[in-house]
Every structure is written in structure tokens, then in C-alpha cells.
Amino acid sequence: MTTIVACRNVNKTYQQGKVMVNALEDINLEVATGSFMALAGPSGSGKTTLLNIIGGLDLADSGDIRVNGQAYAELSSARMAELRLHKIGFVFQAYNLIPVLSAIENVEYVMLLQGVDSAQRRRKAMQILDEVGLDGKYDRRPTELSGGQQQRVAVARAIVSDPSIVLADEPTANLDSKTGESLLQLMLRMNRQRQVTFIFSTHDNMVMAYAQRLVILKDGRIADEQTKTV
């Protein structure tokens, strides 16, 4: 199988007051294309930091990060933005939908930035909203949707432009267990049908149970790893 994410000796420190904190220390990780995996660990373990570094939202202090064969150290800020726009989808814990836009406009937004023409944007957005179970709710704004529906819009927005990888930070944290499981089943179906690689950061046992690969972080280091046979 091909490798979509490769991290070599990745380190990241933060300064808290006068103290330097090792958020990540000597992280070595490879992720195969088509994976459905989770980074787990307690608060402060480094899982969200690692997810943000893989997504190019944060910079490592040292080490080599490659996504789709692109070495981040070789990319300008403009080329990094292009990589994020075209190859990486993001699902955030707080949904991060644009409140003044409808569900379909939120889903179209990434394609608008990509320069996709309006007719194709609308067609693809309707198709993906139908796929995530939001047909008939195209024109509703985020405040008119439940938390689970907002997260489904966020997932639709993340995958509508056919990214290679989707990074989801605590995607079930604000959802009840039934809604969270429904969302996980949706993402697993998209993983299998579209071969999109999903990487979660989570402390939710249900997400860990769904993950086919579990990487456990503790104090900024990889402490353990588990892989299921599927």
C-alpha cells in the first residue's frame, strides 16, 4: 500500500510562561492511503498538535513531514495553502461553519476558493448533502440545524472536493452517542466507497472502537499502537 502521510523525527515545543513544554517528541509515523485511524490520548498528549502539523495548520520545530509525497519543508506558504485547499479536508470539533451561509453555501465554499464554476459547485454540493442525509435542508443556516446536522455539513464540506485525506479533530465531542455513532458510520462508509484517508484525534472510546488503527500518544510521544484486521 502507498503511504499518504510520513512523519520523521517530528518535534514541537511550546512556551508556557517561563517553561518550555514538549508537545511532540521524536514522532515517527506512517499512514497508508485509505486508512481509517485515530490518534488517541489524554488532554495534553499531543494528538491535536500532531493533527494540526499533518494538516499544515501548525509548523514543527524539526523533523520531516510529507503528505502525498510533498515535503512540507520544501513548500512556500502559498504552496502549502494550495495543498490544504486541494488535498486535505478538515472537520473541526466546533464545526467551523460560516454562520451567514446556508448548508449548501458552506459546502460550496471550498469549491468557490478552488475556482469551480457555479453550476458544478451547486450540483456537487447537492449530491454530497444528499449523501450525508441532509436532502431538503440545503437552505438552512447553521443555527437552524442540530449539532449532528452541522457536523454532517462539516463532513460534506471536507470531502466534496475529493481530498486525499480528511483530518477530524474530536468530531464526536459535542454530539450524543447515537448521533456520534451515526456520523462515524457515515465517515467509514465514505472511507470505503471513496478511499479517502481519515485521521481523527480523539479521547472518545467509540471513535477508538471504529478506528482500524489506533495510535496512542502520551506526553508528546507515541506510547502504543493497535491495528485491527478487517
Ranges of residues in the chain with a pLDDT under 70 are 229-230
Per-residue 3-state assignment (H helix, E strand, C coil) for 111-146: HHHHCCCHHHHHHHHHHHHHHCCCCCCCCCCHHHCC
CATH number at residue 33: 3.40.50.300
How many independent structural domains does the chain possess? 1
Assign 32 to helix, strand or coil: strand
Give pLDDT, residue 132. Answer: 86
CA 200 to chain centre: 6
pLDDT, one tens digit per residue, over 69-120 is 899 999 999 999 999 999 999 998 888 899 999 999 999 999 999 999 999 9
Cell numbers found for residue 36: 481509517
pTM of the model: 0.91
Residue range(s) defining the domain that contains residue 217: 3-227
